[in-house]
A and B are shown apart, each in its own frame.
Chain A
Amino acid sequence: MSLGRVLRNTTLAVLALLWLVPTWLLVVNALVPATSYSGSPHWLPQDFGLFDNMSQAWDKANLGPALGNSLVYAVVSAVAAAVLAGFAAFATVVMPVRRQAVWFWVIYSGTLLPLQVFLRPLFLSYAHTSLYDTQIGLVLIYTAIAIPFAFFVMRNYTLTLPREVVEAARIDGASWWRVYWQIHVPLTRSAMIAVFVFQFVAVWNDLMFGITMVTSRNIRPVMAALADLQGNYSNVGPPVVLAGALLVSLPTLLLFFSAQRFFVSSLKIHR
């Protein structure tokens, strides 16, 4: 092995170890039974209290409803965004629409703005209507926020498709509706899945709307519950908080490992 290679692998090993330390401590200390936590971080696993810690976190922060809510929010809004953005992309690229550039910017501009800009007006109008602190209210917001970027991806993907297939189907007398569901959707399936994965993760990880648009513990999404748990850090103890963090991260971790291909393609679509 050449010197260069040794140097290279050493650097890499050092970096990787540095990166691993917080992850390692997260797992090890989430395993330590809360009652035997000594006050300073453990570096080696001892005993197995993970499930006890998780169930404590579950009780203290009402994680049950929060997890259920977030699952609903993430799945429904990611699917809705993919479908609605798919509609719009199909219309602006394939169907005869005038001023395509205008419609593109109307929909796409939403993704350029920071979410803080929407926060208070949405809060006020939700408070005036009956949407504040409801599940449907959050789903609507998450869907609307997801649409612009989903549209961008779907549109770029649609532009790469051959037009002949759709044209042939139209000449054979298929309606637009049928063309969309039977020809266009199967063709754009991979882009739709990438959009779904991307938006699922974005909604699951959202904190800001979760703490602004919701007060009750039965409606709030999972990251708001985690922030609440973290607020009780000194009461419940580090092992419980860390176990809670691990628990709420499981879906995205699972998705990350099982759908790494789509994770990567959902990153590449930034281009």
Chain B
Amino acid sequence: MSTSLTDRHPPTAAGGTAAPRRTKRRTPLGGSRHGLRERLMAGGFMAPAVLLVALFLLAPFVWTIYRSFFGDSRTSPFSWFDNYTLFASDPALSRSIENTLLWVVGTVALPFVLGLAIACLTDSSRFSRLARLCVVLPYALSGSAVAVVWNFMLTTDGAVNQVLTNLGLGSLTQGWLLTWPGNTLVMILANAWQATGVAVILFLVGLQSIPPETLEAGALDGATGWQQFRHIVLPQLRPVSIIVIGMSLVNGLKSFDLIWVLTQGGPGRATETLAVSMYNETFLELRPGAGAAIAVVLTVIVLAASWLYLRRQLDVKGV
């Protein structure tokens, strides 16, 4: 990497513009005297990170895009957008898209609403802190461990059916993970069980940053509890809300562990989301072209979703 850095540095003898341009830079740390050495040094500091990222992340990314334009027959011919049209023709992939949409709605709405509610309902009392701990605790578990716990809840002789039977609601018992769309919905609930903790923590941080004077002023003007929440608290939580929504959105789109350990995308391929479909197509169905196309589509969706909160982050940090 250091060589490419020095390449771009025009030799001072040839380019008269180099010197004035250099003085405009915001890092004058002794750079003018030992310009080249300094740059080499900086290149050396960046090289390990840049090399690893380029080699393990960016190059595979480019390769996946490239691969998505080639078919899956024995000779892997160039096939234009055939792999992308599979989304319309292959029922498993259409189902996967439907599930992904369900996941997006569920993983954004549930942690957001529940997290906000729990953060607002609690105060500094001991009871509140204990209640909060119950909600935050599952966040310390991995997706795979959450899947193990919820499998125990949802299997045919699991806890949920047991409770229903004991409550005299035996007619409601069912194989929760066996029929669509119920299986996708209960997995979204399982995901919310884990993910709400983060939302609670973030909303608490947001609530603490609200100046109490604004609430006092509202109370003086006669705002009731709900009005205070709606017109004073909520607007000031906007920055945190964007982070919570963006985070849950991206995490929901990327979630793999929970679905994989609970159902492996089955029964059939009914509970796959794009993240799982990509794995199934590539490594189980052995259709790497289709898998690559799914990965690219997923990337586009994730990038679009990231834009939501990235825009704000980068504005503030000013790259």
State in angstroms the CA–CA spacing of A252 and B132 once bound together: 18
Instruction: List 13 A-B residue pairs with CB atoms under 8 Å apart, sorted by A's residue number.
Output: A9-B127, A25-B153, A25-B159, A96-B35, A101-B319, A114-B302, A116-B275, A116-B278, A143-B52, A144-B55, A170-B29, A227-B260, A256-B139
Question: Ordered nearest first, which 6 A-B pairs have the shortest CB separation?
Answer: A144-B56, A205-B142, A121-B60, A91-B45, A16-B131, A88-B49
* A166 and B29 in contact, given A16-B131, A106-B58, A207-B257 (Cβ under 8 angstroms): yes
B36-55 residues at the A interface, CB under 8 angstroms: 38-39, 41-43, 45-46, 48-50, 52-55
Against B, the Cβ 8 Å flags (1 = close, 0 = not) of A89-113 are: 0111011111111011111011011
Residue of A nearest to B125 (CB): A9
Q: In the complex, are the beta carbons of A107 and B29 less than 8 A apart? A: no
State in angstroms the CA–CA spacing of A4 and B278 once bound together: 49
At the interface, yes or no: A22 with Cβ under 8 Å from chain B?
Answer: yes
Contact residue among A106, A176, A244 (Cβ-Cβ distance under 8 Å from B54): A106
Against A, the Cβ 8 Å flags (1 = close, 0 = not) of B151-162 are: 111010111001
Interface residue tally for chain B (C-beta within 8 Å): 103
* A40 and B157 in contact, given A22-B193, A96-B38, A119-B282 (Cβ under 8 angstroms): yes
B196-237 residues at the A interface, CB under 8 angstroms: 196, 198, 201-202, 205, 225
At the interface, yes or no: A162 with Cβ under 8 Å from chain B?
Answer: no
At the interface, yes or no: A241 with Cβ under 8 Å from chain B?
Answer: yes
* A212 and B283 in contact, given A121-B63, A144-B57 (Cβ under 8 angstroms): yes
State in angstroms the CA–CA spacing of A107 and B56 once bound together: 11
Residue of B nearest to A26 (CB): B149
Q: In the complex, are the beta carbons of A226 and B275 less than 8 A apart? A: no
State in angstroms the CA–CA spacing of A210 and B158 once bound together: 28
Residue of A nearest to B288 (CB): A120
Against A, the Cβ 8 Å flags (1 = close, 0 = not) of B15-49 are: 00000000001011111000100110111011011
Q: In the complex, are the beta carbons of B157 and A87 less than 8 A apart? A: no
Q: Cβ of A119: which chain B residues have Cβ within 8 Å of it?
A: 60, 278-279, 282, 295
Q: In the complex, are the beta carbons of B52 and A41 less than 8 A apart? A: no
- B residues neighboring A (CB under 8 Å): 5, 8-9, 25, 27-31, 35, 38-39, 41-43, 45-46, 48-50, 52-61, 63-64, 67, 114, 117-118, 121-122, 127-128, 130-132, 134-135, 137-145, 147-153, 155, 157-159, 162, 193, 196, 198, 201-202, 205, 225, 239, 243, 247, 253-254, 256-257, 260-261, 275, 278-279, 282-283, 288, 291-292, 294-296, 298-299, 302-303, 306, 310, 313, 316-317, 319
Contact residue among A97, A120, A143 (Cβ-Cβ distance under 8 Å from B42): A97
Residue of A nearest to B60 (CB): A121
* A117 and B121 in contact, given A88-B46, A95-B42, A98-B39 (Cβ under 8 angstroms): no
State in angstroms the CA–CA spacing of A148 and B94 once bound together: 33
Q: Cβ of A11: which chain B residues have Cβ within 8 Å of it?
A: 117, 121
* A95 and B41 in contact, given A117-B61, A120-B292, A121-B64 (Cβ under 8 angstroms): yes
Interface residue tally for chain A (C-beta within 8 Å): 99
Q: Cβ of B41: which chain A residues have Cβ within 8 Å of it?
A: 95, 176
State in angstroms the CA–CA spacing of A104 and B122 once bound together: 40
Shortest C-beta distance, A21 to chain B (Å), equals: 8
State in angstroms the CA–CA spacing of A84 and B44 once bound together: 11
Q: Cβ of A20: which chain B residues have Cβ within 8 Å of it?
A: 134
Shortest C-beta distance, A140 to chain B (Å), equals: 7
Contact residue among B25, B27, B127 (Cβ-Cβ distance under 8 Å from A94): B27
At the interface, yes or no: A233 with Cβ under 8 Å from chain B?
Answer: yes
Residue of A nearest to B25 (CB): A96
Q: In the complex, are the beta carbons of A106 and B118 less than 8 A apart? A: no
Residue of B nearest to A212 (CB): B283
Against B, the Cβ 8 Å flags (1 = close, 0 = not) of A145-175 are: 1011001000010010000001100110000
Q: Cβ of B63: which chain A residues have Cβ within 8 Å of it?
A: 121
A192-242 residues at the B interface, CB under 8 angstroms: 204-205, 207-208, 211-212, 223, 226-227, 230, 233, 238, 241-242
Shortest C-beta distance, A162 to chain B (Å), equals: 14
Shortest C-beta distance, A104 to chain B (Å), equals: 5
Q: In the complex, are the beta carbons of A264 and B137 less than 8 A apart? A: no
Residue of A nearest to B27 (CB): A96
Residue of B nearest to A20 (CB): B134
Shortest C-beta distance, B100 to chain A (Å), equals: 12
* A117 and B46 in contact, given A12-B121, A41-B162, A241-B148 (Cβ under 8 angstroms): no
Q: In the complex, are the beta carbons of B49 and A151 less than 8 A apart? A: yes
Residue of B nearest to A202 (CB): B142
Q: Cβ of A117: which chain B residues have Cβ within 8 Å of it?
A: 60-61, 64, 295-296, 298-299
Shortest C-beta distance, B239 to chain A (Å), equals: 8
Q: Cβ of A187: which chain B residues have Cβ within 8 Å of it?
A: none
Q: Cβ of A15: which chain B residues have Cβ within 8 Å of it?
A: 114, 117-118, 121, 131, 135
* A170 and B49 in contact, given A119-B279, A227-B260, A270-B247 (Cβ under 8 angstroms): no
* A245 and B148 in contact, given A84-B48, A103-B46, A113-B61 (Cβ under 8 angstroms): yes
